[in-house]
Amino acid sequence: MVVILKRGVTQEKKEQMVDWLKGQGVGVHVVDGEFQTVLGLIGDTRGIDMDLISSLAIVESVKRVTESFKCVNRKFHPEDTIVRVGDVEVGGGNFTMIAGPCSVETEEQIVEVAKAVKAAGANMLRGGAFKPRTSPYDFQGLKAEGIELLKIARKETGLPIVTEIMSASSLPLFEDVDVIQVGARNMQNFDLLTQLGKIRKPILLKRGLANTLKELLMSAEYIMAGGNEQIILCERGIRTFDDYTRNTLDLAAVPMLRELTHLPIVVDPSHATGLARLVSPMALAASACGADGLIIEVHNDPMHALCDGAQSLTPEQYAELAKKVARVREAIRP
């Protein structure tokens, strides 16, 4: 249930209302927007008398939220959430470009790619240190050393770093990481999500390989229910019956999620297609359908990449794409 307060309600009256609602046995999530205050009630609201609340002088309206995702629901938080990563703002009309290799390989590699994507206007650097690989015999990432190399690249370029966590037990290593990525394979690792709800650091939550949008939102709810409200959702393709592309990029997810949630939504055309030549067209399509940003794999030598070379753009291809994305953004500007 959400209770929308009238404009200009005093802080004191608002607090009295929140205390009273808590006394009824429900949790209250307060969102002070630019134009209105929304009180989101969490828990069993069946005993709450909607008519009584509607009749109060400070209340504008009361609505039931039937969906099982509450905190991430746009009804709870009508305005877009902006996730702040240093000076970078994700969501709320901003467009964020996250670029970098699938995996951190060497200092030279990550610094070179970081400098190249920065020169092409990227806002953040990605790079996997802990790699979830289908085969245990494949390169598993440099782990702690990879995170140290990302920090060097950040120091060299000023770009905030985004890297994937695979287990809650490695959280201490991520203390100085700017955005923690939860990969597709861990989208429903509920223990990990619960732990990430306890920290105050932005989370990039990728959609699972075969998960519905509702499941994605429920996973974001795990993080937000714990008090961490800085979540960026990522559509990265889902598994369907076609195998020409690595996955099927579900672009309808972008406008659909926009309706359902206030969280920013970025698109990963690299993992969605698996083929470098398809990354650019799908990145442009994602920009056109209203995504808040893109996360793209870029490697200085894709032919010799230790992971996902086939879908990695060269820095030159990335720079070309970034220019085209800017043109699409301009074309759809309201």
Interface positions with ligand PEP (CB under 6 A): 102, 128, 132, 183-185, 206, 236, 268, 271
Measured from the CB atom, the residue of 37 and 181 that comes closer to ligand PEP is 181
d(CA 332, CA 314): 27
Q: Retrieve residue 102's tokens.
A: 């699938």
Nearest CA among 226, 227, 207, 209 for reference residue 217: 207
Tell me how far, at minimum, the Cβ of 249 lies from Mn ion, in Å: 15
Tell me how far, at minimum, the Cβ of 233 lies from ligand PEP, in Å: 12
If one asks whether residue 102 binds Mn ion (CB under 5 A), the answer comes out as: yes
Measured from the CB atom, the residue of 73 and 186 that comes closer to ligand PEP is 186
d(CA 183, CA 185): 5
Q: Residue 272: what are its φ and ψ, rounded to 5°?
A: -70, -35
Give per-residue burial for 297-324: e unless 16+ CB within 10 Å, then b: bbbbebeebbbbbebbbbbebbbebbee
Pick what 302 binds: ligand PEP, Mn ion, none; C-beta below 5 to 8 Å, kind-dependent: none
d(CA 327, CA 317): 16
Measured from the CB atom, the residue of 37 and 311 that comes closer to ligand PEP is 311
If one asks whether residue 308 binds Mn ion (CB under 5 A), the answer comes out as: yes
Tell me how far, at minimum, the Cβ of 102 lies from ligand PEP, in Å: 5
Measured from the CB atom, the residue of 279 and 322 that comes closer to Mn ion is 279
Residue owning tokens 């030279």: 108
Pick what 184 binds: ligand PEP, Mn ion, none; C-beta below 5 to 8 Å, kind-dependent: ligand PEP
Measured from the CB atom, the residue of 128 and 315 that comes closer to ligand PEP is 128
Residues near Mn ion (CB under 5 A): 102, 308
